[in-house]
Amino acid sequence: MKKYFSLSVFCLLAIIMTSFGQIEDKRGLVAKGAELVKVRDDFSFTEGPAINRQGDVYFTDQPNDRIYIWNPNSNQISLFKEGAGRSNGLYFQLDGTLIAAADLNNELWAIDPKSGKETVLVPSFRGKKLNGPNDVWVRPGGGLYFTDPLYPRPYWEGIRGKEMEQDGQHVYFLSADRAELFRVAEDLKQPNGIVGTPDGKLLYVADIGDKKTWRYDINEDGYLTNKTLFCEMGSDGMTIDDRGNVYLTGKGVTVFDKKGEQIAHIPVPENWTANVCFGATDRRTLFITAMGSVYTLKMKARGVW
């Protein structure tokens, strides 16, 4: 989750997660004989994995204010950007621009993938600071959706560190031409993970505060309709595969099919699994961020662009 855990919570989760179980896979999503591989474990709290066209995965170490790159060919990790605005969720536009939910100053950023230079896309809403943009998804036809829950940060000062300026925790849409910014979901407790289908027709939003994930129809103008309960589980981060299965995180990775039926569970030996995406050029490597570590798992299912 996008907040720092107290010692008591760590202890409770440690008890829950001490037994590292076997992968449950009803539909053959995981490659035969595949095992979870720890790539590195010297971070503070990893988040926001996002794949570029070359199959590299960018991810954040949020407390240390850095963005890293995992190269699937070498299985090596390199530093991309320091001073990353405390970026959390990431997502690539089709033109290669990296979109980042940067909650140092409660902003949404666009980052040049070559220079690392950032541009602030969303500094505020209706003249007030956002709570802290958290996760983001870019739709194929342009425009993007992002969640804005409140997780008070130790680096926020004064009243801003205790109270939100917005009147709730909502989901927003920013048009492709950046001319329009408006709310598309205002009735959720704490929206967090977000992902859409590759045809741009459906959007999944995890309300981690209400332990539910919702599915919406996406209108051409960006508004959402036909809110439908997808499953009785919230999520921190999310991804989707070429079969339309939705991957939720928290206690490992839990996979649901299009109908909202649980079809797989991937245990991860950490207190919390924050986020997930498909990496590598064939998009058949599941890349998992969990606490101070990152993991990979070979898959039969394939990620979508």
Return the domain boundaries, the chain: 7-298
Q: Report the alpha-carbon distance of residue 73 to residue 198 in Å, rounded.
A: 25
- Write the CB contacts of 86 (distance below 8 Å, at least 6 apart in sequence): 62, 65, 102, 103, 104, 153, 155
Q: Which residue has the tokens 């990775």?
A: 253
pLDDT at 160: 55
pLDDT at 155: 80
Which amino acid is it at 271?
Answer: N
- Distances in whole angstroms, Cα of residue 225 to Cα of each of 124, 201, 214, 215, 299: 25, 11, 11, 9, 33
Residue-by-residue pLDDT tens, the chain, 305 positions: 444 433 333 333 333 333 457 999 999 999 999 999 999 999 999 999 999 999 999 999 999 999 999 999 999 999 999 999 999 999 999 999 999 999 999 999 999 999 999 999 999 999 999 999 999 999 998 899 999 999 988 888 754 556 788 999 999 999 999 999 999 999 999 999 999 999 999 999 999 999 999 999 999 999 999 999 999 999 999 999 999 999 999 999 999 999 999 999 999 999 999 999 999 999 999 999 999 999 999 999 999 97
pLDDT at 36: 97
Q: Report the alpha-carbon distance of residue 85 to residue 103 in Å, rounded.
A: 6
Residue 77's DSSP bridge partners are: 70
Q: Report the alpha-carbon distance of residue 247 to residue 232 in Å, rounded.
A: 13
| Angle, CA 206 vertex, CA 42 and CA 36 arms, to 5° | 35
The alpha-helical segments, DSSP class H, found in the chain are: 7-17
The one-character DSSP state at 305 is -
pLDDT at 162: 62
Using a 10 angstrom Cβ sphere, with 0-12 exposed, 13-18 middle and 19 or more buried, the burial of residue 275 is buried
- Distances in whole angstroms, Cα of residue 246 to Cα of each of 123, 233, 255: 31, 12, 6
The one-character DSSP state at 63 is G
When the candidates are 3.20.10.10, 3.30.43.10, 2.120.10.30, 3.40.50.261, the CATH number that belongs to 7-298 is 2.120.10.30
- Distances in whole angstroms, Cα of residue 239 to Cα of each of 43, 63, 186, 188: 22, 23, 23, 20
Phi-psi region of 116 (alpha: psi -120 to 50; beta: other; left: phi over 0): left
pLDDT at 21: 79
pLDDT at 18: 34
